[in-house]
Amino acid sequence: MNSLLKTEGLSKHFGGLQAVEGVDLDLNEGEIRAVIGPNGAGKTTLVSLLSGRLRPSSGRIHLNQKDITSFSASRKVQFGIVYTFQVTSLFFNLSCYENVAIAVQGCRAREEGFLPRRESDIRLNVRKVLEQVGIQENEETIAGNLAYGHQRLLEVAMGLASRPKLLILDEPTQGLAESEIKHFCSLIRGLSDSMTILLIEHNMQVVLELAEQITVMDQGRILAEGTPSEIEANIAVQESYLGG
């Protein structure tokens, strides 16, 4: 398997607080990786570093052997790292169509070097993505008026429309109903053929169902790494997370 993303000694501190410390992460192409850990373990900080929302204090990030540590968030998107927000961040006053169209248009511009001129091209892609996540009937609904579960799906749709190499999902199932979680899991599994997925998740059921590899974090460091069954067996983890 080819390595897609690799970090070396990635650290971030805020003032005296060490949020992420010396993280070496290695993601293979096409894998689904879950990052778990207690609140304040540094998971969101870690993915914020990967997606460029925060600058690391030290350490490096490589994507396909290319050093992208210092790239801005928008450049990282251009290189295929796409982040979906933990706190739903949409264009709440615009329709679902527009929300996704903005993402599609950006992606086309990257691939072709200029903004697309024909709306019909965009429309095709928007509909495809909306269908993929299953909210096609809400095309004209204003995003702010969507049910919460649908807003989460729209968030994912915008991520997909950017055609990522690495899709980072930050607590995607938080606040979703049981049935919605099921739908979500099958959606994510279907995606893993075409992209790598990094998932931050508290719901252990989702993690065990989706993840091929699990990384456990605590206090900014990687505590353990392995397949779901290995992790389940790992006592240290149980103490820090499952038991605690």
Partner 1 sequence: MNRRSPKKTAVLMAGVLLLLFVLQFILPAYHHSTFSKIMVLASYAMGFNILLGYTGLMSLGHAMFFSTGMYATGISVYHFGYTGIPALGIGVLCTVLVSMLLGLVALRTSGVSFLIVTLMFGQAVFLSILYFDQFTLGQDGFTLTKELEPLVLGNASYSYTDPTFKYNAAWFLFALSLVITNILIISPIGRVLIAIRENEERTQMLGYNTYLYKLFAMTLSGALSGLAGSVHALLFSYVGATFAEIHHSIAPLLWTLLGGVGTTLGPLLGTGIMHYLIDFTSGWTSAYLLIVGAILVLLVIGAPQGLMGLVRQKRLPWLP
- Residues within the interface to partner 1 (CB under 8 A): 51, 53, 72-75, 77-78, 82-83, 85, 89-95, 98, 101-103, 105-107, 109-110, 115-117, 140, 142, 158, 162
Question: Shortest distance, CB of residue 89 to partner 1, whole angstroms?
Answer: 5
The nearer residue to partner 1, 155 or 218, going by C-beta atoms, is 155
Decide if 2 contacts 26 (C-beta within 8 A).
Answer: no
Class of residue 233 by CB neighbours under 10 A (exposed 0-12, middle 13-18, buried 19+): exposed
The nearer residue to partner 1, 53 or 182, going by C-beta atoms, is 53
Tokens representing residue 167 in the block: 């899709």
Strand partners, 10: 23
Decide if 31 contacts 212 (C-beta within 8 A).
Answer: yes
The nearer residue to partner 1, 140 or 193, going by C-beta atoms, is 140
In 49-175 the beta strands, taken as DSSP E runs, fall at 58-63, 66-67, 81-84, 166-170
Question: Shortest distance, CB of residue 24 to partner 1, whole angstroms?
Answer: 25
Question: Shortest distance, CB of residue 143 to partner 1, whole angstroms?
Answer: 9
Question: Shortest distance, CB of residue 52 to partner 1, whole angstroms?
Answer: 9
The nearer residue to partner 1, 48 or 234, going by C-beta atoms, is 48
Q: Within 10 A of 155 (CB to CB), how many other CB atoms are there?
A: 23
Question: Shortest distance, CB of residue 227 to partner 1, whole angstroms?
Answer: 31
Class of residue 200 by CB neighbours under 10 A (exposed 0-12, middle 13-18, buried 19+): buried
**Cα distance between residue 217 and residue 39, in whole Å:** 10
Question: Shortest distance, CB of residue 170 to partner 1, whole angstroms?
Answer: 11
- Helix or strand or coil: residue 7? strand
The nearer residue to partner 1, 72 or 229, going by C-beta atoms, is 72
The nearer residue to partner 1, 11 or 105, going by C-beta atoms, is 105
